[in-house]
Amino acid sequence: LVGGGVEMFDAMKQNRIDREGVHAKFGVYPDRVVDVQALAGDSVDNVPGAPGIGVKTAALLINEYGDLDSLLERAGEIKQPKRRETLINNADQIRLSRQLVQLDCNTPLDFTIDDLEIRDPDPDKLLNFLAEMEFRTLTKRVAERFGKDMPQITDAAPTTNAAQSAAVNVAEIAFDAEKYECVRDMAALQDWILRIYEVGYVAVDTETTSLNEMQAELVGISLSVKAGEACYIPLTHKANAADDLFGGAELAENQLSLNVALDALTPMLRDPSILKIGQNMKYDTKIFAGLGIDVAPIDDTMLMSYAMHGGLHNHGMDGLSERYLNHTPIPIKPLLGTGKSAITFDRVPIDEATK
């Protein structure tokens, strides 16, 4: 971008970067920066580049051979054996890196450069918005700037915290884990799906074998559509006891097939008319995405808590349960154990998992 009247501003060093500034930083002029970046890579942006070649070496090579394509075509002429082998063996990776760092100048846009022209705002609309947001100082400054009367800003009437109000109602319902249903057949699952469509929303939680969503395997799914009522759908629990650290991979009896259950749940999980609610839903959506299911729309109680009470430190499920429901959930450590004796959730007995 730098050149032709365009400069960059380094906010950290508080200085402008022109063509010469680019050359001082990269060792090449702006038109060859992409070539240098393709060779050097960028670990932050996951651009691999050429192993062992940094910005300085990349600049030397580009200055000597003119551009990246010429360098790769003539890589066999390089005298240093290791550098020569690196370029030859990683040519495809280097070309891919160039694609990753290169700006796409042909992206279709539905606006023109004229649409981006800075224009004076509509003072009446702006002042009404600022007043509605209760930005008193800014409203006064804008009114003075446009020679307008400052709109009246009234203090909003105190409102009841919706989350606290709802929580009070829910907290009055006793928690009874014995009432939670373990879904082991299609008839029971279809009944729950029907209940979800009747209300238009569902609380969803996945149980897996790992906190790393890229490695985790789905073990079971929890659903709830009403306070005090929930179900657990075991899918891949193992037959061995929890204390059998060397148990095999044989599945426990009386579980729905993973594929059959997901086939039944997928339309609901994808249905835009059904709101899926959970705690740290990013994790659960990644688990489902790994199984080919894009879950939407979603709400996340953890993000809601952070948005409403950003100053609090604990936005985890246990903390929210204690704060809003006066209920302490069953700790996970007694179920899974710790240290060398720890097990994964698929080794937890299904009856215990349901609770």
Residue 72 CA to residue 93 CA, distance in Å, equals 11
pLDDT tens figures, 247-301: 567 899 999 999 999 999 999 999 999 999 999 999 999 999 999 999 999 999 9
Confidence label for 81 from pLDDT (cuts 50, 70 and 90): very high
Determine the pLDDT at residue 304. 92
pTM of the model: 0.55
Instruction: Name which residue leads in pLDDT, 326 or 122.
Output: 122
- Other CB atoms within a 10 A radius of the CB of residue 354 amount to 20
Lowest mean pLDDT among 173-187, 206-220, 287-301: 173-187
Give the DSSP letter of residue 177: G
3 state SS of 156:
coil
Q: Domains of the chain, with CATH numbers?
A: 8-101 (1.10.150.20), 120-153 (no CATH), 164-354 (3.30.420.10)
**Residue 88 CB-half CA count within 13 A:** 12
pLDDT tens figures, 123-157: 999 999 999 888 889 999 999 999 999 888 876 55
Q: How far is CA 71 from the centre of its chain?
A: 39
First-last CA distance in the chain: 59
Residue 125, H or E segment: helix 123-132
- Which range is most confident: 105-109, 113-117, 190-194, 211-215? 190-194
Determine the pLDDT at residue 194. 97
